[in-house]
Chain A
Amino acid sequence: MRIYRFGIAIPLLLAFLACTTYRIEKSETANIRLDSLVTAPSSASVEAIIKPYRDKVNADMTEVLCISSEAMYGGRPESPLTNYCADLTLEEANRFCTAKHPEIKMDVSMINRGGLRIPLPKGEIKTMTMFELMPFENEIVFLKLKGEVMLEFINHLAARGGEGVGGLRFGIKENKAIQPEIGGKPLDTTRSYWLVTSDYIANGGDGSEILSKSSERIDTGIKARDMFIQYFKRMGKEGKTVTAKTDGRIYDAK
């Protein structure tokens, strides 16, 4: 049995460099990034494995889904980006309900501001844009909420200074929601509403623990990004231009 033991690290590297390349060791210690100036060749075998995967991804990523007439930025309390994304979520969710759950209809959508990672550009919206907008693998969830739970959730959105919402309108006063309206009518605490959001929010993300009080939950298994891609593709096919708007759905109530 051979036994090996530690000794002390010796700055031999410096000594070695010193004899041939005096200038180098002056500015660096033993840990070199020398090859930062070398163009490393690529491994042909690894390139060969990557190629078919890359070709497929690239072909898909560069596909133009539709055209946007203006850049859309996110913000609070509302913004073109958050409004647009929440509206399309509500629309697509109800399209899905019509096909798979005709007994229910989504009343409110909520897409968190923080989950939208880039502004949407003016001009071509590509598949890649969707991956940049939503890099996460969030899935769409439907939650049935009692009126009072919905109200508490809306108060939470108000306390956060506003989020992306669809089907909903309210003012923010002293960090609380006032005059909340759903589908154009004042919120009724005696009935229940359906909320469509991401599993991240439904699971309590961004402080939305209140949603654990939902009376019913449907996990659609649909990725939010896939839903967005489908929506924008249809816009393109129908020759529609994506246009953003703010409409005062979340407002500062002084």
Chain B
Amino acid sequence: MQNRRTFIRSLGAGTLGAFVLNSPMQAFAKSELIQLTILHTNDFHSHIDPFPKDAPRNAGEGGMAKRAAMIDQIRKEQKNVLVFDAGDIFQGTPYFNYYKGELELKLMTEMGYDAAAIGNHDLDNGLEGLDAQLKNAGFPFINSNYDFTETILEGKILPYKIFKKQGITIGVYGLGIELDGLVSKANYGKTKYLDPLEQALRMEKFLREEKKTDLIVCLSHLGYAYKEDKISDVKIAAETFHTDLVIGGHTHTFLKKPELITNKSGQQVLVNQVGFGGLILGRIDYFFEKEGKKHTRNNDNLSIK
């Protein structure tokens, strides 16, 4: 470790920045492979500014302006970038108490986020509180297992979305955690919570068989894994057939690298989660080639310091 640090310092920050952000897989990009870069956050909890200088932990780390710079840098280098958030955007600093999520969503829009899942804290000001802020989000919230039919959010939350990058289609669905006991009844109102696994199976079948998407991503706010028998990001990965990637949240789990889980089709699925507070930017690069050739992936959780 010490060796590495010494080496990195000697490189100088500018060089290192370029070194880090340039994917080592770019050699591939020059061939016929198509590279797709997925960036993601979860549970950033209104951490607009870096953690305070006197914070007991993570002092000076994170911050949306730095995250934005990092994303900008990656966009300069990569043609096909998607940026997702797995929920709990709201609550955690006075910015939320003051502006009720307005600034968080405006900044995510400025940064070009493509979609977000709904976390339990995103309902801290009720369905009305989220509804009132949707106008500040230039990206959709995706959820496939909350039935908002009888609520103010009816028709305003997408059950899925299909993105297209250089001919590759990416189907994204979203899962939310059980609301009862976690969110006050007054805040979720008549929202019906549907079984996440059932909805995941339904969505992935639809996205693969009907919509023929090449990559299926689940934005989950279920939590990474639990000791008890409770549905989680890892369970979704293991119990589904077509989902390629689960981007998780809720448990504030700092994964050093994405977990590889074998799914019901015997395929390896990635599950990732990057802690909380906007400290780390998750990065996963997929390399696509026409059928018959190899498709590889690379991943990288980037600290925002």
Contacts and interface: CB of A to CB of B under 8 A. Distances in A.
Interface stretch (B138-146, B155-163, B224-232, B288-296): B288-296
Interface residues of B, number: 74
Nearest to B99: A53
Given A4-B288, A38-B20, A56 B98 contact: yes
Contact of B290 (A2, A7, A128, A131): A2
Nearest to A200: B184
A4 B291 contact: yes
Interface stretch (B8-16, B79-87, B199-207): B8-16
A39 B62 CA distance: 11
Interface residues of A, number: 53
Interface string B2-23: 0111011100010011011100
Given A6-B244, A8-B294, A47-B65, A23 B304 contact: no
Residue with the highest number of chain A CB atoms closer than 10 Å, among B5, B168, B288, B302: B302
Given A4-B168, A6-B295, A56-B98, A43 B68 contact: yes
A4 B289 CA distance: 6
Interface stretch (B103-111, B171-179, B188-196): B103-111
Interface string A1-43: 1111111111011001100010110111111111111111111
Interface in B81-99: 92, 94-95, 97-99
A155 B161 CA distance: 53
Given A4-B168, A35-B20, A61-B94, A10 B296 contact: yes
Interface of A: 1-10, 12-13, 16-17, 21, 23-24, 26-43, 45-47, 49-50, 53-54, 56-57, 60-61, 128, 131, 135, 137, 199, 203, 225
Interface of B: 1, 3-5, 7-9, 13, 16-17, 19-21, 24-25, 27, 48-49, 63-66, 68-70, 72, 92, 94-95, 97-99, 103, 106-107, 110-111, 124-125, 167-168, 184-186, 212, 214-215, 244, 255-258, 260, 267-268, 280, 288-305
30 contacts: A2-B291, A3-B214, A4-B168, A4-B295, A6-B295, A8-B294, A8-B296, A16-B24, A16-B27, A17-B24, A26-B3, A26-B4, A31-B301, A32-B20, A33-B301, A33-B303, A34-B20, A36-B303, A37-B8, A38-B17, A38-B20, A40-B305, A42-B65, A43-B66, A43-B72, A46-B107, A53-B95, A54-B49, A60-B98, A137-B124
